[in-house]
Structure 1
Amino acid sequence: MLHEIQDSRLLPARPIQTGLLDSTYENVLEHMDSGVMLFDEEGSLTFLNARAYGMLELQRYELSGCTIVDILTHLSLSRTKKRQLLKVYRETVYKGKSICEFMDEYGRYWEVNASYGADMNGSYLFTIKEVSDYKKIEQTAYQNDNLAMLGKLSASIAHEIRNPLTAIRGFIQLLRPHLQGLGKEEYAKIILAEIDRANDIIHEFLSSSKPSSPQTRIASISALLKEVILLTESEVLMKGCQIDLQSLPGDLYVSVDVKQMKQVLINMIRNALEAISDRLDGTTGKIELGARREGSEVRILISDNGKGMDACTMNRLFSQFFTTKENGTGLGLSVSDRIVKNHGGRISVTSRVNEGTSFVISLPLINGLTS
C-alpha cells in the first residue's frame, strides 16, 4: 500500500507553517473538540490541532515536517494507529470517499471527513471526531426495531400455535387412561411435558416483547423470599441440592409487582440449578438466598456453587437470545433484567469458573417501613 501512497501527491516533506493561517482562525481550530489535519498540495502537513496529535498519541514536534508517508512510518506511532491511518488513507485519498469510520483499540468509534478538490486548491483537510454516543443511539434504535418486530412475531406465534397446543393437550389428557391401560402412560407424560415447554417458550417471547406494567403493592422481602423457597424447594430437592435462606436483619419492605418479582427469583434459582447440574466434580449443590439493607436500597442475593461463568459469558448474560443452554431461548435473564429496571432497580452478577455465581438484585426501599 505504501507504494500507492508514494505515487500520490502527498509526498514531499516540509516544515509545518502555522503562520499561513490567520491567528484568530488558528486559535479556534486549536481548541475544537474535533481533530483537524491539513495537508497542502505537495503533501506536507501544514496544520494540526491539539486534538489531532492527542488522538495519534504523539507530540506536535514529532509531526513537524511530516508527510503522510512519514507519519505512517513514524517510529513512535503504534502499530494500531498506523493501521487506522492506513485505512483512512485508502478510503479517502485512494478511493475518493469523503467519510470514513473506524473503531479504535479502546472500543471508541471515530468518523473522519475528508475535504479536497478545486475549492481546496489541491489541499487535503481531514477532520476527526468521536461518534461513540451516536453509535450507541444507532444501536439502541436498531434494538428497538428488533423489539417491535419481535412483538409482531410473538403475537403471531401466540395466535397460531398456542390455541392448537391447548387442544392437543386436552386430547392427550383424554387418551391418557387408554395409554395407561396399554402400559404406555410415559408417552402421555412426555407429550404433555413437551407441550408445556412449547407454551413456556411462547410465554417468554410474549414477556420479552411486551412485558406488562408492574402492578405494584407494598411487600415484605422476608415473605417474598420464603414463598419463593416454598415454590422451588421440591424441584431443588429432586435434583439433589439444598436451598437455604440466610437470616435477615429485620424485615424490609419494597413496592413491587409480587408476581413479576417471583418470576425473576424463580428464574434465577432454576438457572442456578442448571449451573450446579453442569458441574462435573460431584460437589453437593447449594443455593443461598438472602437480603440486606444498603442505604436506601435492599440487596437481594442469590448465590450458587455451580460451574460459574467466564467474563465473556457475563458480558452477554442479559442480551436477548444469548444462551449457553442446549434448549434455552436466551430470554429469561433479559426479561428479568427488564422487570427489575421497570421497578427502578438493577441486577449485578459476579462469577468465577468452577466456583459459582452470585446475582444481586437492588431495589429501592419504602421509607419508614422496616421492622
Structure 2
Amino acid sequence: MISQYQESLLLPARMFQSVSMNTTYEDVLEHIESGIMLFDEEGVLVFVNKQMYAFLELARHSLLGCTMTHLLANIQLSRLKRKQVLRAYREMVRKNKPTYEFIDEYGRYWRATLRSGEQMKGSYLFILKEISDYKLIEQTAYQNDSLAMLGKLSASIAHEIRNPLTAIRGFIQLLHPHLHQLGKEEYAKIILAEIDRANDIIHEFLTSSKPSVPQVSMIPVSALLKEVVLLTESEALMKGCQINLHPLQGDMIISGDAKQMKQVVLNMIRNAMEAITERSDDYIGKIEVGARREGAEVRIFISDNGKGMDLCTLDRLFNPFFTTKENGTGLGLSVSDRIIKNHGGCISVSSRVNEGTRFVISLPLIQ
C-alpha cells in the first residue's frame, strides 16, 4: 500500500509527466505536413500549427484565443483567404460535409477535413492538406482513359464516315454547274464547306488518338515563326487583329517534326484570334509572337489581349474534349500538348479575365 505521504511525493512527477507528454504531442502536431486548427467546445481557437499559419499567411500566434468570427474579421487575413475559410466553414460545419476541396489563388489543390462530435468531446478539429500531386495523378489517369476511349472511337468511325463524305463531295462538285445555272451556287459552297469541316473533325480525332511518328529534322526557330506569322497575317487582319513578330536574337535551332511544330504554333495563334474576337469591348486586338533563349532551352511565346480565362478553365485547358467554343472539338490544345511532350518540351499558360493570355512553349535547343 502507498501511504498518503508517498502519494504526495509522486503527484508532482505525474504532473510533470503529463505536461511533458502534452508538449511532445504539440511538437508532433507542429511539424506534420498538414495544417491543424483546433477549436474547443466553446468555439475558441486553442491550437494552430505553423503549416496552417503559412496557408493563412498570418503571423505566428496571432490567432490563439479567438473565435471563427474573430478569425474572419482579422485585418491581416487577405480577401481571398477569407473567402476560402468562409466557404470551407459553410460546407463542413453548416452543411455537415466531412471534407471540402478547393483551389487557392496559386493554383494549388487543398482538402479540408473536419473532425467533431462525441469523439472530439465537443471540440472542432480542422485539418488542411495539399493534394496537388494526387490531383495531377488523377488527371493524368483520366486523360489516359479519355485518350484510350478516343482511340477506339476514332478508329471505328473514321472509315464509316469518311467514305460517304468523299462520295457526297464528289457528286456536289459534279452538280456545281447545274446549281450555278439555277442561281443556287451558294448552296454548293455551303455543303462543301460543311463536308470539309466534318473531315477536319475526323482528322483531329485520328491525330489525337494516333499521332504520326515525328519526321525529325533541324528546325530554325526564326524560320518557323516567320512562316507561321506569314500564314496567319491575312486571317488576323480580317478579324481585326495585329500580329507582331518580335526580332529573335541569335540562331536558335530545335530538333523535331517541322509539320507538327507548325501545327502547334498555328493552333495557338488561331486560339488567340478567337479570344480577341470574343471580347465584347471596343479595342485593338494584338498578338505578340517571339522566342528567347533560356540556358539550354528556347521559350517560344504567343500572347494576346483577348478575353482571357479563369482558374477553372485554365485547370482543364489541356484535357481532351474540353472546350469553351461553340463549335470546338476540345482536341486542339490536347494534341498540341502531346506533340510538345513528345519533343521533350512542355507548354505553360498564364491568363487573366479581360486582360489576355500568354502561352510559352519550352523546347530543348541543339547546341
What's the TM-score, normalizing by structure 1? 0.66
Q: Where does 1:251-270 land on structure 2 (aligned, <5 Å)?
A: 251-270=251-270
Q: Where does 1:315-334 land on structure 2 (aligned, <5 Å)?
A: 315=314, 318-320=317-319, 321-323=321-323, 325-334=325-334
- Shift in alpha-carbon separation, 1:60–1:271, aligned structure 2, 3 A: closer
Is 2:344 aligned against 1:344?
yes
- Shift in alpha-carbon separation, 1:104–1:20, aligned structure 2, 3 A: farther
In structure 2, the partner of 1:312 is 310
Q: Where does 1:213-292 land on structure 2 (aligned, <5 Å)?
A: 213-228=213-228, 231-232=231-232, 248-274=248-274, 290-292=290-292
In structure 1, C-alpha distance between the alignment counterparts of 2:35 and 2:237, rounded to whole Å = 63
Q: What are the ranges of 5 or more consecutive residues in structure 1 without an aligned counterpart? A: 1-17, 65-69
Q: Which amino acid aligns with 2:168?
A: I
- Shift in alpha-carbon separation, 1:324–1:52, aligned structure 2, 3 A: closer
In structure 2, C-alpha distance between the alignment counterparts of 1:122 and 1:246, rounded to whole Å = 65
Question: How far is 1:191 from its partner?
Answer: 1.2
Question: How far is 1:202 from its partner?
Answer: 1.8
2:334 partner SS: helix
Cα shift readout 1:52-83 (whole Å, capped 9, x = no counterpart): 8737768669645xxxxx83454676565466
Answer yes or no: is the 8 Å Cα contact 2:37–2:47 preserved in 1.
yes
Counting matched residue pairs gives 335
Question: How far is 1:44 from its partner?
Answer: 8.8
Question: How far is 1:130 from its partner?
Answer: 0.3
Question: How far is 1:310 from its partner?
Answer: 3.1
In structure 1, C-alpha distance between the alignment counterparts of 2:294 and 2:252, rounded to whole Å = 11
In structure 1, the partner of 2:8 is none
Question: How far is 1:167 from its partner?
Answer: 2.1
In structure 2, C-alpha distance between the alignment counterparts of 1:241 and 1:49, rounded to whole Å = 53
Question: How far is 1:267 from its partner?
Answer: 2.5
Answer yes or no: is the 8 Å Cα contact 1:31–1:49 preserved in 2.
no
Moved more, 120-129 or 148-157: 120-129
What's the TM-score, normalizing by structure 2? 0.67
Answer yes or no: is the 8 Å Cα contact 1:297–1:363 preserved in 2.
yes
Question: How far is 1:244 from its partner?
Answer: 7.2
Q: Where does 1:1-371 land on structure 2 (aligned, <5 Å)?
A: 19=19, 21=21, 23-35=23-35, 48=47, 50-51=49-50, 54=53, 63=64, 71-74=67-70, 80=83, 81=85, 84-85=88-89, 87-89=91-93, 99-103=98-102, 108-112=109-113, 114=115, 126=125, 128-133=127-132, 134-228=134-228, 231-232=231-232, 248-274=248-274, 290-302=290-302, 308-312=306-310, 315=314, 318-320=317-319, 321-323=321-323, 325-347=325-347, 359-367=359-367
In structure 2, C-alpha distance between the alignment counterparts of 1:129 and 1:201, rounded to whole Å = 44
- Shift in alpha-carbon separation, 1:299–1:111, aligned structure 2, 3 A: closer
Question: How far is 1:261 from its partner?
Answer: 0.9
2:330 partner SS: coil
Question: How far is 1:257 from its partner?
Answer: 0.9
Answer yes or no: is the 8 Å Cα contact 2:39–2:47 preserved in 1.
no
1:202 partner SS: helix
In structure 1, C-alpha distance between the alignment counterparts of 2:235 and 2:48, rounded to whole Å = 65
Answer yes or no: is the 8 Å Cα contact 1:343–1:363 preserved in 2.
yes
Answer yes or no: is the 8 Å Cα contact 1:36–1:127 preserved in 2.
yes
Question: How far is 1:176 from its partner?
Answer: 2.8
Question: How far is 1:209 from its partner?
Answer: 4.0
- Shift in alpha-carbon separation, 1:288–1:36, aligned structure 2, 3 A: closer
Answer yes or no: is the 8 Å Cα contact 1:101–1:110 preserved in 2.
yes
Q: Which amino acid aligns with 1:152?
A: K
Question: How far is 1:200 from its partner?
Answer: 0.8
- Shift in alpha-carbon separation, 1:210–1:22, aligned structure 2, 3 A: same
In structure 1, C-alpha distance between the alignment counterparts of 2:229 and 2:69, rounded to whole Å = 65
1:110 partner SS: strand
- Backbone CA RMSD of aligned residues: 4.7
In structure 1, C-alpha distance between the alignment counterparts of 2:243 and 2:167, rounded to whole Å = 37
Answer yes or no: is the 8 Å Cα contact 2:208–2:334 preserved in 1.
yes
Cα shift readout 1:306-333 (whole Å, capped 9, x = no counterpart): x623353884694444555443333323
Cα shift readout 1:133-160 (whole Å, capped 9, x = no counterpart): 3344334433433333333333343243
Q: What are the ranges of 5 or more consecutive residues in structure 2 without an aligned counterpart? A: 1-17, 75-81
1:256 partner SS: strand
Q: Which amino acid aligns with 1:199?
A: N
Q: Which amino acid aligns with 1:254?
A: I
In structure 1, C-alpha distance between the alignment counterparts of 2:45 and 2:327, rounded to whole Å = 61
In structure 1, the partner of 2:78 is none
1:254 partner SS: strand
- Shift in alpha-carbon separation, 1:130–1:198, aligned structure 2, 3 A: same
Question: How far is 1:263 from its partner?
Answer: 1.1
In structure 2, C-alpha distance between the alignment counterparts of 1:241 and 1:127, rounded to whole Å = 51
Question: How far is 1:169 from its partner?
Answer: 1.5
